[in-house]
Amino acid sequence: MRLRQPIVVVLGHVDHGKTSLLDKMRGTLVAAREAGGITQHIGASLFPLDAIISTCRTLLGEIKVQLKVPGLLFVDTPGHAAFANLRKRGGSIADLAILVVDVMKGIQEQTLESLELLKSRKTPFVVAVNKIDLIPGWKSVEYEPFPKAFQRQSQAVRDELEQRIYAMVGEFAGLGFRADIYTKITSFATTVAMVPVSAKSGEGIPDLLLVLLGLAQAFMKEQLTLHEDAPAEGVVLEITEEEGLGTTVNAIIYDGILKVGDRIALLGPEGAFTTKVKAILMPKPLDEMRDPRDRFKSVDHVLAAAGLKLVAEGLDRTYPGSPIYVIGQNEDEILERITKEVGEFRLFTDKIGVVLKADTLGSLEAAVNFLRERGVQIRVADIGELSKRDIVEAEVVRMKDELSGVILAFNVKVDPDLEREANSRGIRVFKSNVLFRLVEEYTSWVRQEKERRETAQFESLTKPGKIRILPGYVFRRSNPAIVGVEVLGGRIRPKYVLMNSEGKHVGTISQIQDKGQSIPEATAGMSVAISMKEPIVGRHVKEGEILYTVIPENEARLLFKSFSNRLTDDERAVLDEIAQIIRKNNPLWAR
């Protein structure tokens, strides 16, 4: 039984040091070149086991465990896009991930997004707590293991670092992850390992490499078992134009063997298709890469795990993130498998929902899952730039539901003319390269719009009001009757119809005045003058009498069921009184 290298991807918030950490790790192993150095791949770097052991042994002492994993294959492009594309059905091609978190800033927006992705793909990960060299007073020694580096610091520096790390442990706990510094962990199966590092000085990097190797060795033997004779399975990382070669794809092969002449199946806008591998290209070793006209060497086959460049016809028809399967007699089965696999998140429906566009299959899958978890309905989910058809789809939805008739553009360019056209039709286009932010912007807008509409609807309803005609304050008995009133509860406004305690309508408020000035409403506790055309004081209404606002039944039902929380305590009490009066004659009123 032979094991392949674990595929490792680096994730984290912008500027937390993902690329710097990769570069420093690469530099560490280049320094150990006599032990094998690193092998360049396309989109990946293979760190062989002997180079890792050589680097770590000098710093951490003899390694007693017999390591069978042949090394680590790091995907060179750090970040969400690369990880999103490392997809396979039900999980990720990445066996392990390093989540880089700045010790000075803690968990931030894209850290949360990374955690969402890792959780959805069920990918084990290690936290690289980066930038420990920025702790005030920290004294660095290049490539020193963390326990030694930590012991050399002053007590104040040690306290500061521990305080920051345990604040981060608390943040992880709040997100549902149990985490701790790797030196204190008793069960790596249940606790996320945190490795303090400095991408600048290299401190902690040997620890990080050994933790990754240890996790792979302990928990991943089954998934790392290489099926040497099996047809290759892989994924397209990106599509590139190469002079003299045309359209090529950079890919990761994660299982089996790929040979020149193999027929492979991929996915494109028109669905699954097949083509024949014309060439497999690998970069030349570092010291042979001086001639840019001949950067690659051709190989006749490659075993997983490997990053490589594929040359074949029709590759311009594929998607970034497309699966790659070598096919034999099982062509129909493979094509059906690809179509079914991708049909779960590439959607064209008649549902009322948003239009979602993403740059790659992996990004699309991540975005679809993210939206579904938040209960957002999707009408169209597809790959590529915004098109007129997308605007038409969003417009169809908008006619039925304005809040769903929008376009979400994740990591894709949006033509300004098309965006203007969408806006002219009342369609909002939300754009971001950060999934978390894109969805948050949309859901926040939906919340605000719903709040605005609810407020507008609530404001349009007749509110409960209760007044008493003040004795001795009849200014005019009729046509119009003008009387002084005290508002006992709720509120009154012009055009509100009033009724007596028997439920009989007595008139409509024409005007409300306070100290000679017309006002738009009067609320509980105010004493004002009101005018009504219909009643005659003494015949229809009397001094000292209590009157109530007349609320249409459909509006009262809304106040009871939808807007009770927006009413004040005294308004709710008055609404109950009004209901009791009317229900004497109509027991089902506003129920």
Dump pLDDT digits (tens) for 5-34: 999 999 988 787 888 888 888 765 554 444
User: pLDDT digit string (tens) for 135-194?
Assistant: 999 999 888 889 999 999 999 999 999 999 999 999 999 999 999 999 999 999 999 999
Residue 330's pLDDT is what? Answer: 84
User: pLDDT digit string (tens) for 321-331?
Assistant: 899 999 987 88
Residue 290's pLDDT is what? Answer: 40
pLDDT higher than 90, residue 79: no
List b or e across 327-351, with b for residues whose CB sees 16 or more CB atoms inside 10 angstroms.
beeeeeebbebbeebbeebbbeeee
Distance CA(202)–CA(210), nearest Å, equals: 14
> 49-60 and 205-219 are packed helices; what angle lies between their axes, rounded to 10 degrees?
120
Radius of gyration of the chain (CA): 35
More confident residue, 28 or 245: 245
Average pLDDT, the chain: 89
More confident residue, 533 or 91: 533
Q: What residues have CB less than 8 Å from 251, skipping those under 6 apart? A: 42, 43, 234, 235, 236, 237, 307, 308, 309, 310, 324
User: pLDDT digit string (tens) for 410-424?
Assistant: 989 899 999 999 999
Average pLDDT of the segment spanning 399-405: 95
- Highest-confidence range of 46-60, 92-106, 207-221, by mean pLDDT? 92-106
Residue 159's pLDDT is what? Answer: 96
Name the residue among 254, 359, 255, 264 with its Cα closest to residue 311.
264
Predicted confidence band at 293 (pLDDT cuts at 50, 70, 90)?
A: low
Q: Determine if residue 256 is left, alpha or beta; phi over 0 gives left, psi from -120 to 50 gives alpha, anything else beta.
A: left
Residue 31's pLDDT is what? Answer: 47
What domains sit in the chain, N to C, each tagged with a CATH number?
Answer: 7-224 (3.40.50.300), 233-343 (2.40.30.10), 347-459 (3.40.50.10050), 465-583 (2.40.30.10)
Which two structure tokens, joined as six digits, stand for 536? 């005659």
Q: Please list the residues that pair with 257 across neighbouring strands.
A: 231, 303
Residue 288's pLDDT is what? Answer: 40
285 — phi, psi (to 5°)? Answer: -55, 155
Kind and range of the H or E run holding 82? helix 80-85
Predicted confidence band at 68 (pLDDT cuts at 50, 70, 90)?
A: confident
User: pLDDT digit string (tens) for 381-394?
Assistant: 999 899 999 999 99
The pTM of this model reads 0.76
Distance CA(47)–CA(38), nearest Å, equals: 5
